[in-house]
Amino acid sequence: MMSLQNEVQEGPDLNPSRNPFDKKEYRHILLPNGLRALLVSDTVAMAQNKQSSSSSSSAMDDDGGDSESKQSGTEEEDEPVDNGLDEEIEDEQDEDEFDEEESEAAGGGIRSAAAAMIVGVGSMYDPPEVQGLSHFLEHLLFMGSKKYPSENAYDKYISKHGGSDNAYTESEHTVYFFDIPQEHLEGALDIFAQFFIEPLMLESSVERELNSIESEFQLVKNSDGCRLQQLMCHTCGHGLGDHPMPQFSWGNIQSLKEIPEAKNADPLAILREFYNEYYYASNMRLVVVGAYSLDALQDYVVKSFSDVPQKGTDFSFDAKYEPKIKNVGMPFTSSSLQKVYYVIPVRDRHAITITWQVPSQMKSWKSKPCDYLAHLIGHEAEGSLLAALKSRGWATAACAGVGSEGYENASSHALFMVSMTLSEEGVTHWQDIVEEVYRYVGMLRYHCDKGLPLFLFDELKAMQEMSYRYEDEPSPEDLVENLAEMMAPALDLPANKLLDALPLLYEFDPVAVADLLESYFTPANSRIDLTSTKFGRSADFEDSKPSKKIAAVDTPLTNSLFDPTGIMPLQEPFFGTQYWCQDIPNELQQKWTAISQAQLPPPESSLSLPKQNKFVPTEFQLKPLPTDIDPMDVDTPMVTEEMAQDADPDDNDESAGFPSIPPRLHPSQLPSLLCDTNVLKLWHLQDQVFKRPIAELRILIRCANAGKSPLHSACSDLLVRLVAESLNEVVYMASMCELSTSMSSTDGGFSIRVHGFDEKLMTLFGIVLDTLLSFRGEDNSTLPRGIQKDLFDLCLEINSRRYANAGMKASSLVSDVRVKCLRPDLWSSNEKLKAISSLDIPTFLKTVSEVLGNIAVEGLYHGNVNVSDAQHAQSEIIRLLEASGGAVGLARDEYREHLVTKVPSATDITLRCAAMDPEEPNQAVEVYIQVGEDNTLDRIMVDLLVEMMYEPLFDQVRTTDQFGYHVSCDSRWTDGIIGIQIRVVSASKSAEEVNARIEKFLIDFRELLSKMSRDDYFEQMIGLAKQKLEPFNSLSEQTGHFWSEIRDGRYQFQVELDEVLTLRGISQDQALEAYDKWLYPKGSGTRRRFSVNVVSVNSLISENPHLSQEMCGDFNDERINKFQEICKNQTFSQVY
């Protein structure tokens, strides 16, 4: 070992390039076998570890609250339903109708250790006869090694110690990563290293992992974003094997088994050859972060990773990596360009994407010319392309640039895309929209010739420097993943620039910018993808036999929107996406080419370069703390002096090894109530931990009439949308300066959040709140100033489409139904869609006036803000309330009550609901088991049971029995009611089979728990305790934790201490007793359980012969109402 250590090369010192708040120490090393490793010594965690090890747990007396483990979640009724101020280009996440969110870790403990390995091979390297091989290999490496042959050895080790792990395959690399408590890092690294030394890749694992790959593919098969990506690859014009672009990167049984076998190829043999060809040390980069010295981390890495196979003998930091695909050429041939592709979506949506292929941008990290052009073309403020199109009612959102996905940003090429979400009218004007894009390009060319204003570059450069300097501390898992991406072999960044090459802008290169505009941003070098339900829905062509041959339709393109009537669509072979293709005629191309020449827009055009940004901060000083507060140590900001001085060293139970429980924070380190009236309750905390010029202000506007009918709820959503759209230009300019805001409607009112540099935070907050409150008042006939009827109509169209698209994925619908069953006072998207089907402005204004009539505000101001700042915020909120219609306020008993259904015991209820998407390939099942009203013991007991169940459930139901890719269990907290959820999403098993398998698992796990060794049980307890005590990584995390307590009315800001103390006293017999009472199917008859099943309409026809796809929303609402009848409409009293 000593000789190996002597042969380790040390790379350039990265520590000088850290941001000033980064106290971690870095060392870049090169092992003798060619493996590069970045070691990160987490000095803050080392200090925490030192303090923790010198003190033991102290007794806690207060009652508990809520904090969630990594497998836990909270029903967040007051979190965004429709985040209008933070809109993405297109909602491909299929957000749950009623959001659930994991609460942040509690703080006070020690940060985890983490590691990541990036391997320089991805899906673009797949052999054409086995597409998806890289992804398949990623799966198989988890299935045991020669040294650790058990298939779940790695997952079991990580899980039982309270860690987490994952992996993903990109176009040119594959990343594997994990996080784990510090003392288990060495053991985890050794198991992890075997992925890259001697994995088994057994034939017995192949079939099961093929099914996992297939299940994973089925989960994304109906994602419009994924379908468009694969369509672009399929229609690129290259033959399979001639270029990596046409590869099918996801992989499924068809590409990984059926096609290879038809060609007499052996997929497993090819996979092993593939592994041997690309999985070698000098094609890998390792990142390890831990609370250890750099020398200790180096010892761990050398010990575990020196046996990774090597190729070659001459290794150095100066060696240049040459990607295999670097010189394959551009992804699109001339046959795929100068065309428009009309794409049929799964969801109700309208979008356009204009794509230009450009040279690879990986070597342009200093000047980032594509980022500069993305900033201009994707701008959203006055003079922008989006603002011009919005003013005509054609577009609702836009983004531009080279994306982070590997097929867009590769060593061979880059794809610069301009993507827009359109209105229905915008679809018919798509040619005019493209014309506006090229008019903007022409304007940019003109300014390039004349000289672009220097302030545009200076602002960008300054903001990137500010963002880097004051960035939040990432979680250990995020840190290693991000650093691994920086070390990607294909990216080949200089060894001394790994930390700051990508975050910072170093120089302006006007020549590169001009060359992109002149040579590549042209009609001849573009393709257009127009997606719209005006061409039909995917289900409309379910029984047709589309052609898989790529060919343009004979119908010539005209000014009228393409009419597909009578023309059979083409079909992409893996996702089944249907589309038509038309050549763009020469005369139209020539028109666009002429418009794109260097010239200013005509006088009537609103297009212009961005104005100087008034939100650029200039003040970065930290506000002095009050004199009666002792500042925390800057070098160890997560550790208070009290941790060392006040911790009780008495630890006489058998919990040796249980983490020390830190003492309670001083009241000055917790939010204090600055104002307490029926009008405003304002909490304030001046940051003493993170020491950045950052603040966050959150308020909840509690409305007595919020959500009292579907119309009230839908109008609240629409109000949020209107405010967001009317303020988009202001909010966008602020967001460019790291000052972000979001607003949402909740079942209790409205929520507003503003986060960023504190200097101008109140300016933005005041604008947002003032605009929202402008809808208060008696005038029900006129929209507030600055908001036109066209904008109202556009927002109504957007929200109607979102309601229609809600629950299109079975995996989200199943949660929506479960939450709606538990919360009978919520309204479904189907109910809200009906309520606004004929909505006019007077009705809308009357309804929102009712909602905003009787209100009270509760808020939290946290960060680099002193008492004077908080008092100013208090005055501003009250002033705006009084100016908008009075500030009477609400007493606590006037708040809208949140009711939770009481599930009857000893009755196993199953709700069979209809999938909203007729092509949904998956069945989704959620089994919910209700525990009861919140208390510390039951809450931490549930978390412990979930922690112990998670890995065996995953291993048995997913890995071994192959019931589906998505298998999980979670604790749930629904307005003060505790529960447990088990979820399985399967494309291969029926809902009945899934329910039966879950019940079998619950029976089998009882035996596993009863026979679990004392050491294994205690390890699970320790892992959970460390999760609970893991410190916050950022101000926003800590604010989120405090805010959840305020929003839910508990106000228990340190509940984690009670939970961990209670956890330490839970015996294995107590855990078994709780399991028998709550979860065991053969228990005492006290179990409160129901199961929600989302299945296809065809599965329900026999018992509901009149059911059709159009009736699914009503049918599911009826199922929920019948559930309430079964429960006799009984609800819990409000807990908080």
Q: What is the pLDDT of residues 406-445, one digit of tens each?
A: 999 999 999 999 999 999 999 999 999 999 999 999 999 9
The CA distance from 203 to 224, in Å, is: 34
240-256 mean pLDDT: 95
Q: 396 CB contacts (<8 Å, ≥6 apart)?
A: 87, 390, 421, 422, 423, 725, 794, 798
Q: What digits encode the pLDDT tens for the residues 26-57? A: 999 999 999 999 999 999 888 877 766 554 33
Beta bridge partners of 1091: 910, 927
The CA distance from 231 to 730, in Å, is: 36
User: Over pLDDT 90: what percentage of the chain?
Assistant: 82
Contact 231, 572 (CB under 8 A): yes
Q: What is the pLDDT of residue 553?
A: 67
Per-residue pLDDT for 776 more than 80? yes
The stretches of 1030-1106 forming alpha helices (DSSP H) are 1035-1048, 1055-1064, 1068-1078, 1097-1100
Nearest partner of 418 among 317, 527, 325, judged by Cα: 527
Edge-first strand order for the sheet with 966-974 is 100-101, 72-75, 966-974, 977-986, 923-933, 1088-1095, 907-914
457-486 mean pLDDT: 96
**Pairing status of strand 72-75 against strand 966-974:** parallel
Q: What is the pLDDT of residue 656?
A: 63
Nearest partner of 212 among 964, 991, 986, judged by Cα: 964
| First-last CA distance in the chain | 59
Q: Give the residue range(s) of CATH 3.30.830.10 domains in the chain.
A: 2-57+108-305, 899-1132
Dihedral (CA of 771, 835, 919, 570) sign:
negative
Looking at 85-133, which runs of residues are DSSP E strands?
100-101, 113-119
Q: What digits encode the pLDDT tens for the residues 1027-1071? A: 999 999 999 999 999 999 999 999 999 999 999 999 999 999 999
Q: What is the pLDDT of residue 47?
A: 84
The CA distance from 8 to 298, in Å, is: 9
Q: 579 CB contacts (<8 Å, ≥6 apart)?
A: 231, 341, 342, 343, 344, 569, 570, 571, 572
The CA distance from 502 to 979, in Å, is: 44
Nearest partner of 984 among 1120, 808, 807, 810, judged by Cα: 810
Q: 654 CB contacts (<8 Å, ≥6 apart)?
A: none
Per-residue pLDDT for 580 more than 90? yes
The CA distance from 86 to 82, in Å, is: 9
Name the most confidently modeled range: 510-514, 565-569, 774-778. 510-514
Beta bridge partners of 651: none
Which residues are marked as active site? 138
Per-residue pLDDT for 66 more than 90? no
Nearest partner of 569 among 557, 585, 555, 587, judged by Cα: 555
- CATH superfamily membership of 2-57+108-305: Metalloenzyme, LuxS/M16 peptidase-like (3.30.830.10)
Burial 144-182 (b: 16+ CB within 10 A, else e): bbeebeebbbbbbbbbbbbbbbebebbbbbbbbbbbbbb
The CA distance from 1 to 605, in Å, is: 71
Per-residue pLDDT for 608 more than 90? yes
Contact 1030, 1059 (CB under 8 A): no
Per-residue pLDDT for 653 more than 60? no
User: Over pLDDT 70: what percentage of the chain?
Assistant: 91
Q: What digits encode the pLDDT tens for the residues 737-760? A: 999 999 999 999 999 999 999 999
Contact 898, 1048 (CB under 8 A): no
336-351 mean pLDDT: 96
Q: What is the pLDDT of residue 643?
A: 31
Q: What is the pLDDT of residue 549?
A: 61
Q: What is the pLDDT of residue 107?
A: 54
DSSP reduced 3-state for 339 = strand
Q: What is the pLDDT of residue 885?
A: 86
Q: What is the pLDDT of residue 71?
A: 37
Q: 805 CB contacts (<8 Å, ≥6 apart)?
A: 91, 94, 347, 348, 349
DSSP reduced 3-state for 278 = helix
Tell me how far CA of residue 91 lies from CA of 86, 1040, 1053, in angstroms.
Answer: 11, 24, 34
239-248 mean pLDDT: 94
Q: What is the pLDDT of residue 777?
A: 80
Q: What is the pLDDT of residue 79?
A: 36
**CATH says 899-1132 is which class?**
alpha beta
**Pairing status of strand 339-343 against strand 72-75:** unpaired
Beta bridge partners of 180: 113
Helices (H) and strands (E) in the chain, counts: 36, 29
The CA distance from 684 to 699, in Å, is: 12
Contact 243, 330 (CB under 8 A): no
Say which range, 482-486, 517-521, 570-574, 646-650, has the weakest mean pLDDT.
646-650
Per-residue pLDDT for 61 more than 70? no
The CA distance from 78 to 698, in Å, is: 12
Beta bridge partners of 750: 701, 745
The CA distance from 248 to 232, in Å, is: 11
Q: What is the pLDDT of residue 89?
A: 47
Q: What is the pLDDT of residue 1134?
A: 84
Single-letter amino acid, residue 387: A
Q: Return the CA Rg of the chain.
A: 29
Q: What digits encode the pLDDT tens for the residues 666-685? A: 999 999 999 999 999 999 99
pLDDT confidence tier of residue 1001, bands split at 50, 70 and 90: very high
DSSP reduced 3-state for 351 = strand
Q: What is the pLDDT of residue 546?
A: 59
The CA distance from 55 to 71, in Å, is: 29
Read off φ and ψ for residue 1129, nearest 5 degrees: 55, 30
Q: CA angle 397-401-403, nearest 5°?
A: 100
Single-letter amino acid, residue 246: P
**Pairing status of strand 284-290 against strand 36-41:** parallel
Per-residue pLDDT for 112 more than 60? yes
Angle between helix 153-160 and helix 185-193 axes, rounded to 10 deg: 160
Q: Both tokens of residue 377?
A: 């073309």
Q: What digits encode the pLDDT tens for the residues 370-420? A: 999 999 999 999 999 999 999 999 999 999 999 999 999 999 999 999 999
Dihedral over alpha carbons 204, 208, 213, 215 (to 10 degrees): 170
Average pLDDT, the chain: 90
Q: 626 CB contacts (<8 Å, ≥6 apart)?
A: 668, 686, 866, 867
Tell me how far CA of residue 174 lies from CA of 134, 169, 248, 970, in angstroms.
Answer: 8, 4, 16, 28
213-226 mean pLDDT: 94
Tell me how far CA of residue 696 lies from CA of 347, 348, 858, in angstroms.
Answer: 36, 36, 14
Single-letter amino acid, residue 92: E
DSSP reduced 3-state for 709 = coil
Per-residue pLDDT for 158 more than 60? yes
Contact 375, 735 (CB under 8 A): no
792-807 mean pLDDT: 95
594-605 mean pLDDT: 97
CA atoms within 13 A on the CB side of 321: 26
